[in-house]
Amino acid sequence: MTTPLKDKHIILGVTGSIACYKAADLASKLTQAGALVDVILSESATRFIAPITFQSVTGRRAYVDADLWSGEGHVVHIGLGQAADLFVVAPITANTMAKLAHGEADTLLTVSALAADCPLLIAPAMDGGMFQHPATQANLETLKQRGAVVVGPAAGHLASGLKALGRMVEPFEILGHIRHLLAQDGPLTGRKVVVSAGGTQEALDPVRFIGNHSSGKQGFAIAQAALDLGAEVILVTAPVSLETPIGAARVDVTSAREMLDAVRAATDDADVLVMAAAVADFRPAQTAEQKIKKEKGVPSVELARNPDILLEVAKHKQKNGFPKVTVGFAAESENLRANAQAKLAKKNLDLIVANDISAQDAGFAVDTNRVVLLSAAGNQEELPLMSKAEVAAAVMLRVLQLLGDHHE
């Protein structure tokens, strides 16, 4: 599946910090995501890690300072810089930050950075005191003002034994920021997409709730797919144990009624709503203030109906036209298409994603899904078994088409 990293030229500058070992993991992750990664090591980085480590994970040559003076030396830095879609320095030391802030160009890394005409992303790593030093802070500010994206540093254990701000953030997080940066100027740039995810929880008492098996995976994948197309994403989620896709604004909710409020607020001016959440249809009519005690006998629980969020959104849309495109999900255990079709009409949706939850490899908790897409215009498209990320990309592609049909 393609991501904004596919076929992108990324220069990964690596400078002399113990966090260099994490840079090898970053280079590997970038390469696995389809990027073409040219690594440039500073002299001191080569004391921590060898160029061959990077060459092995990127399948491409890794450069060192000596290459600046090699036979092709007079063009290496210009060539690297011009081909790049993104210049990353991770880890970046206080020394290299100072050099970049002042436009110094005395090494292959710094001269390439000066020659490059692309965004710059840096992930600082240094001891706490060095990071807090006014000189470092001033250099950081200069780089930020010039448009550099600064990721981290994180707080935690440092090589000196200090617990402070100075750790390079983890490679998966840097990868997320790179993905987000490279997705700018996508077809959904300037569009606001609201995604709901997870299974709502309806409290019985302070410790118990009525819930469902939704893992949130499909909704989170939809949020990532929308980010990959450049959208501004608001992810309204019931409790799940998943990392927030970098770039998404996450709104945590618990119950269906809380989700309704959050979705209503977010969709007031949104282009798209994708309701991937499994919303409880019923809640306990009363939530006990204190824990229900078994000594008092078997309780009977009366249920009350929850609002249907999509129906409420549909009412609002009739009045002010937002969200422009609404997508629902239909998890069905029988009569998949007929039930989904009925929901599409009843909830006034533009698209419904129907999945058969009785299938082993689709639906709750697993990483794959098998869905049929039904549109209000009458199109039906059966997708083969695919990852939830692929389903999400396919859904967002249909959304893109629907937005195109929706005249501005």
Which lies closer to ligand C5P via its Cβ, residue 57 or residue 248? 248
CA dihedral defined by 198, 203, 204, 207, rounded to 10 degrees? 90
- 308 lines the binding site for ligand C5P (CB under 6 A): yes
Contacts of 153 (CB under 8 A, 6+ apart): 123, 124, 125, 126, 131, 165, 166, 167, 168, 169
- Closest separation between CB of residue 96 and ligand C5P, Å? 48
Residues 340-399 that bind ligand C5P (CB under 6 A): 343
- 256 lines the binding site for ligand C5P (CB under 6 A): yes
Residue 96: burial class (beta carbons within 10 Å; 0-12, 13-18, 19+)? buried
- 173 lines the binding site for ligand C5P (CB under 6 A): no
C-alpha separations of 85 from 7, 95, 121, 124, 262 in Å: 10, 24, 11, 21, 37
- Closest separation between CB of residue 343 and ligand C5P, Å? 5
Among 76, 94, 225, 309, interactor with ligand C5P by CB under 6 A: 309
Among 143, 148, 240, 310, interactor with ligand C5P by CB under 6 A: 310
C-alpha separations of 178 from 35, 217, 407 in Å: 11, 22, 32
- Closest separation between CB of residue 332 and ligand C5P, Å? 8
Kindly state the number of chain residues that form the binding site for ligand C5P, as judged by CB under 6 A.
Answer: 13
- Pairing mode, strands 120-124 and 86-92: parallel
- 281 lines the binding site for ligand C5P (CB under 6 A): yes
- Closest separation between CB of residue 305 and ligand C5P, Å? 9
C-alpha separations of 29 from 35, 86, 170 in Å: 9, 15, 12
Among 33, 275, 336, 403, interactor with ligand C5P by CB under 6 A: 275
- Nearest CA to 131 out of 148, 156, 110 is that of 156
Q: Which stretch binds ligand C5P (CB under 6 A): 73-81, 169-177, 272-280, 289-297?
A: 272-280
Reduced to 3 states (helix: H, G, I; strand: E, B; else coil), residue 31 is helix
Out of 212, 320, 339, 355, which one is annotated catalytic? 212
- 199 lines the binding site for ligand C5P (CB under 6 A): no
User: What positions carry a catalytic annotation?
Assistant: 212
Q: List residues binding ligand C5P (CB under 6 A).
A: 256, 275, 277, 279, 281, 306, 308-310, 328-330, 343
